[in-house]
Amino acid sequence: MLENFMDALLLASTLENFLMMFAGMAFGVVIGAIPGLTGTMAVTLLLPFTFHMVPITALLLLVAVYKGAMYGGSISAILIKTPGTGAAACTVLDGYPLAQQGKAGKALYMALYASCIADFISNLSLIFCAGIIASFALSFGPPEFFMLICFSLTIVASLSGDQFWKGVIGACLGLFLSTIGLDLVFGTGRYTFGSVELMPGISFIPLIIGLFAIPEILKGCTGRPPVQESVIAVGGDRVTWAEFKRCFKTIVKGSWIGVILGAIPGIGGAPAAYMSYTEAKRSSPYRSNFGKGELEGLAAAESGNNGCAGATLIPLLSLGVPGDVVTAVILGAFMMHNLTPGPLLFQENIVLVYAVYIGIMVSSALMYVTGITCIRTFAKIAHIPKQVLYPIILLICCYGAFSINNSMFDVLVMAILGLLGYLLSVFKFPEAPLLVAFVLGPLFEDNLRRSLLISHGSPTIFFGSVICWVFLALTLLSLGYTIYTFYRHRALPMEQ
């Protein structure tokens, strides 16, 4: 183990990796600080550029972008009352009132401190939990993996919000798109319509760019221009030691709430932030000041959403199941570099896993360095004119789609899926279930067919082990609870 750790230290501790993480962190903060642009878009835009990198550099860059975007959303939330990301929506409650009181600098620094501490705790949870779960998962065979994927597909319900049935339709569409291409068992083309370009299937990069980046550009160009909030100066105030000490317990508590919720696939940063905020308000002696400019409320929101950042990687690394939409994109990066997350990754590429661990611990320090040195500069990012921003993003999207296979067909696929993504957003179909189903679809089909080949077509193989029964029960419970919650929420307005 010590030898593997030393090899991982040499693999991760290169100047190129540190520079890439710093650049990724800065890019993530910039994207996160721009209202309407999300961490998913940030990771999506950079994913094509990692194609020719060595795997460890590519993975550390994308994780740094993800973490930077998670923190960056707090900047615009505090200064212009417009959260850059959905996870930062709770930050507005106390962040903007603090800025109105002339304490914008104090709010920004507290958001940075809470984010860094929560990120560090989240990284520790990843290091200690992922390996244990992966060791348990080594006993899985094709039937167990199939039942695990069935359970994983139920997260599309939690990603669907109030649009449960629309999320199910989107997931079915994602499963259908994942079947396009060459059938590896029988060697026949499926839904290719005689097109040679479709034989390998739909490329992952054009799909995610089309689903997430293009619709945002179209909505920004076709919708009404948003009302620009007044800009509030950052100011020179910093958090005092007494204020930090008063909020530290809340930060730690919010971090663990974020870790627990982040490790559950499909939850995300926004629910964790609100739950952390609610718990802090319940237990704080300053609860009456929450919502009026309370530092403790701001710390709770930021520690909750950033606590999810490392925890969402736990199911990805240990089981190969994405914890949210961003980690679904990162899963694509693993596959792009011929790496399969899950228990086999710990067996076959343990040095790479340790190197990722080392890199993400460094990323917590880089987040602090990036924030403390550039906080005033990043505060101006939210005011980039959209007529300048969107053409640049569109150009990057086209380059990214083309660069993977040097094919204009991929650019066409990106454009078609971009129109599809725009229509989905217009009719309020969530895009996330489609992406998760597209990523898990090949694993679902592969393990299903392998299981049936082993059992000579008998479905009893899916009921032959305790693990299968456990995941079957979890799947049914998850579906039942989701349907109950959906119909209960629909009934509440009628009761009122």
Q: Structural domain boundaries of the chain?
A: 2-495
**Residue 494 reports pLDDT greater than 60:** no
Token pair of 237, please?
């105030």
Within a 13 Å sphere around the CA of 252, how many CA atoms are in the beta-carbon half? 5
Q: How far, rounded to the nearest angstrom, does the alpha carbon of residue 279 sit from its chain's CA centroid?
A: 24
Mean pLDDT of 306-314: 83
Neighbours of 44 (CB within 10 A): 27
CA dist 233 and 379 (Å) reads 9
Among candidate residues 437, 168, 475, the one with its CA nearest the CA of residue 328: 437
pLDDT digits (tens, 9 = 90+) for 135-144: 676 677 888 8
Instruction: Give a three-class secondary structure readout of 288-316.
Output: HHCCCCCHHHHHHHHHHHHHHHHHCHHHH
Higher pLDDT residue, 421 or 388? Answer: 421
Which residues are paired to 188 by β-bridges? none
CA dist 413 and 327 (Å) reads 22
What percent of the chain stands above pLDDT 70? 85
Say which DSSP state 401 is in: H
> Cβ distance 283 to 79 under 8 Å?
no
**Residue 235 reports pLDDT greater than 60:** no
Mean pLDDT of 152-157: 69
Kindly list the distances between the CA atom of residue 269 and the CA atoms of 174, 202, 280, in Å, as whole numbers in the listed order. Answer: 24, 29, 16
In this prediction, residue 217 carries a pLDDT of 80
In this prediction, residue 228 carries a pLDDT of 47
Higher pLDDT residue, 454 or 44? Answer: 454
Q: How far, rounded to the nearest angstrom, does the alpha carbon of residue 234 sit from its chain's CA centroid?
A: 29
In this prediction, residue 250 carries a pLDDT of 92
In this prediction, residue 477 carries a pLDDT of 86
Q: What residues contact 180, with CB distance under 8 A and at least 6 apart?
A: 190, 191, 192, 198, 201, 202
pLDDT digits (tens, 9 = 90+) for 427-471: 888 776 787 788 778 878 888 888 988 888 888 888 888 888 988
